[in-house]
Structure 1
Amino acid sequence: MKLRVLVFINALAVAVTISAVNYYFQHKFYDMAITFVATIISSFIVFYYLIEKYVYSKIKLIYKLIHNLKLGRDLRDALGEHMSSDPINDVEHEVQEWAREKKTEIETLRTQEKFRRDFLSNISHEFKTPLFAIQGYIEALQDDDFEDRDMARQFLDKASKNVDRLSYLIKDLDEISKLESGELPINYTKFKINDLIKEIIEASDLKGKQHNIKLIFKQKYDEPILVIADRQKITQVLVNLIDNSFKYGKEGGHTWITLFELHDQVLIEVTDDGMGIEEKYLPRLFERFFRTDTSRSRQIGGSGLGLAIVKHIVEAHQQTINVRSTENVGSTFGFTLQKVKQNIPFPHIPILKS
């Protein structure tokens, strides 16, 4: 409601009241009309002056301060700001919007703080486990003074494996950090995704046999499918997803790699028939060090960063990755890549600079 309307309503109410009282005592319509006109004019002037001076001016100042704070401007600039004709309504909307923004900021900060605590706790545990193991083996060797050479060799082998685990952790953390900061450039090239998948299957065949899991790639298309991506990094994505299917697949199971041609993209899916994942865990699956089954994850090894790296690589290509899973049925990880259309020149794609 605008100031003039508000003042007029109040002046009208006062004028009607006074005129009615005047008519009640004098019973003169002419006097009542004069009283009504005089009262409404004088009341309007007085109310307008008082409200403008002592209420509206303060509200305008509050509005200007809020508006300038939101814009990050110096408060000394407030007096020169343009104001609308209805500052009360503006203040209400500004405060509501400000409150929503602050609530969102607080929730974001709480989420980030929880993520930071969880990350520090996880990374501390991940480093502490192999370090304590190495320390224990070295102390045992020092106490034994290498008298039992067979035991010494076993302890050295175990210490070496834990050193390797530490190296993998540091390497993966460094890679994620560089991917996030853009220090690892995406070198776009054209290549046949069909051929790359076949190469990876051949290289992973031995590991699949060790886990008693068969790799299956059913090629539905006669023509090769060309994509634009960083071949080395997409190789890393596929290897990580296939290794993940080996770790969590079932004995004597299968891993399927499937291609789906979309309009201007290619969808690559890696599916296993393993233990599956509970639905409540799916939103957090690509977080660093997140494990749905901690006990088994420790046994099968890995840095716990594989899926986080996969997500970062795919998003660095400006593409998407998703997962769907059903407990005791299996899981499917799918990601998209930019497709090269036939007879269309190689498009310009911005490359991340280091």
Structure 2
Amino acid sequence: MFFNSRAVAFLLALSTAFITVSFLSLLEGIPSTAYVVTGCIAFSSTFILSYFTLEFMIFRELNKIYNKVDGLKNNPIFSNEPLMKQNEVQERILQKEKVNPLKMINQEISDFASKTEQEIDKLKKMESFRREFMANVSHELKTPIFATQGYILTLLDGAMDDEKVRQKFLKKAAKSLSQLNHLVEDLLTLSKIESGQIKMDFEVFDIQDLMVDAYEQLEHKASKKDITIHLDLPDNESLEVNADYNRLMQVMLNLVTNAIKYNHEGHNVTIQLKEKEDRVKVSIIDDGMGIPEEDQGRIFERFYRVEKSRTKKQGGSGLGLAIVKHILSEHNSYMSLTSKLGEGSTFSFELEKHREE
């Protein structure tokens, strides 16, 4: 049923005319013409009065309120949804005529209030994340800057005259500046990936070649810590994937480097590749320190560190795994983690095989 001023006025006028004629019929000697005239006058006057009263004093004001609420609800400032298309707007207008306006406005206000509450919660979380991020960045930048400043001031205070001390402090200052440069580069890389400025350069290549390249680059680094890297590859001649070779190499180097860092001397790291039906699974397995269960859900957050003092000693910007997470996301993949404290960790991700069209 249509709920608008015209329909309501018509029903009121019809009811009034019927009641008036009904009362008139109780009197005797009234000609039939009088019934018709009385009914028409009652209907017309009631319809005109009701229509203008409802239209200009109630329905138009209700529609103004509805349009304001509807406009706010569909405003991109308050909603992540795109603005409605023209056909959707027309459909909403038709629906307005069929629904009780008071019920419609109540529903719109309830929906708007619910969305606004969700937006406020989201803004609060973003504000909390921003404060935490700024505190972490400030802390991470402060450490190498203060260290470098301390070494240089010590040299300026007279230690420069001693050649051995000078060389030692200059090397330490250079190392701190290198850490600072690495941190800034990781921040820029992460920011560009998240904002879409860095696009993945997809190409078809053999994933086994990438595993071998990562192994060869880090074998010497592992040997310095008396750690052995094992390659566990399938017997296939070729396992092609369509991916960004350099970005996946960045993922592999980060994961294998972490496996070496947080492992014990004399232990092992395995780079494993398994073939599935239409996918390949890459795993980095170590038998080192492991990760506490309470930290596993946050290990891919920016600057999150497990046992911060130990991690600081090992070095790193604290952004490596966050970058890994975003690179894999661009490849429609994700990182899975299995770890047990004191027994080791396994980081795994999967990629789709390349299929010839």
Is this a same-fold pair by TM over 0.5? Answer: yes
Structure 1 residues 222, 121: CA separation in 2 closer, same or farther (over 3 Å shift)? Answer: same
Match of 2:327 in 1: 313
- Kindly report the root-mean-square deviation, in angstroms, between the aligned alpha carbons of the 2 structures: 3.7
Shift of 1:241: 0.5
Structure 1 residues 71, 225: CA separation in 2 closer, same or farther (over 3 Å shift)? Answer: same
Match of 1:334 in 2: 348
Cα contact 1:291–1:304 (8 A) shared by 2 = yes
Stretches of structure 1 lacking an aligned partner (at least 5 in a row)? 12-29, 31-40, 75-79, 346-354
Shift of 1:239: 0.5
Distance, in Å, in 2 between the alignment partners of 1:145 and 1:252 is 39
The answer to whether structure 1 residue 154 and structure 2 residue 157 are counterparts is: no
1:275-322 CA-to-partner distances (Å, cap 9, x unmatched) read: 222333333222221112110111000111111221222222333223
The answer to whether structure 1 residue 143 and structure 2 residue 157 are counterparts is: yes
Structural mapping, 1:81-160, within 5 Å = 82=93, 84-85=96-97, 86=99, 87-160=101-174
Shift of 1:248: 1.9
Q: TM-score, length-normalised on structure 2? A: 0.75
Quote the sequence identity (%). 37
Distance, in Å, in 2 between the alignment partners of 1:90 and 1:213 is 69
Aligned residue among 203, 206, 216 for 2:220 = 206
Q: How many residues align?
A: 316
Q: Which amino acid aligns with 1:72?
A: N
Q: Which amino acid aligns with 1:82?
A: I
Q: Which amino acid aligns with 2:107?
A: H
Structure 1 residues 3, 340: CA separation in 2 closer, same or farther (over 3 Å shift)? Answer: closer
The answer to whether structure 1 residue 215 and structure 2 residue 229 are counterparts is: yes
Structure 1 residues 198, 93: CA separation in 2 closer, same or farther (over 3 Å shift)? Answer: same
1:328-347 CA-to-partner distances (Å, cap 9, x unmatched) read: 33222222223113xx24xx
Match of 2:285 in 1: 271
Aligned residue among 72, 75, 78 for 1:72 = 75
Structure 1 residues 216, 99: CA separation in 2 closer, same or farther (over 3 Å shift)? Answer: farther
Shift of 1:47: 10
Distance, in Å, in 1 between the alignment partners of 2:225 and 2:107 is 62
Cα contact 2:234–2:275 (8 A) shared by 1 = no
Match of 2:202 in 1: 188
Structure 1 residues 240, 56: CA separation in 2 closer, same or farther (over 3 Å shift)? Answer: same
Distance, in Å, in 2 between the alignment partners of 1:129 and 1:158 is 13
Structure 1 residues 69, 293: CA separation in 2 closer, same or farther (over 3 Å shift)? Answer: same
Structural mapping, 1:8-87, within 5 Å = 58-72=61-75, 82=93, 84-85=96-97, 86=99, 87=101
Structure 1 residues 66, 130: CA separation in 2 closer, same or farther (over 3 Å shift)? Answer: same
Distance, in Å, in 1 between the alignment partners of 2:230 and 2:289 is 18
Moved more, 134-143 or 64-73: 64-73
Stretches of structure 2 lacking an aligned partner (at least 5 in a row)? 13-25, 27-42, 77-82, 84-89
Distance, in Å, in 1 between the alignment partners of 2:276 and 2:117 is 40
Cα contact 1:229–1:338 (8 A) shared by 2 = no
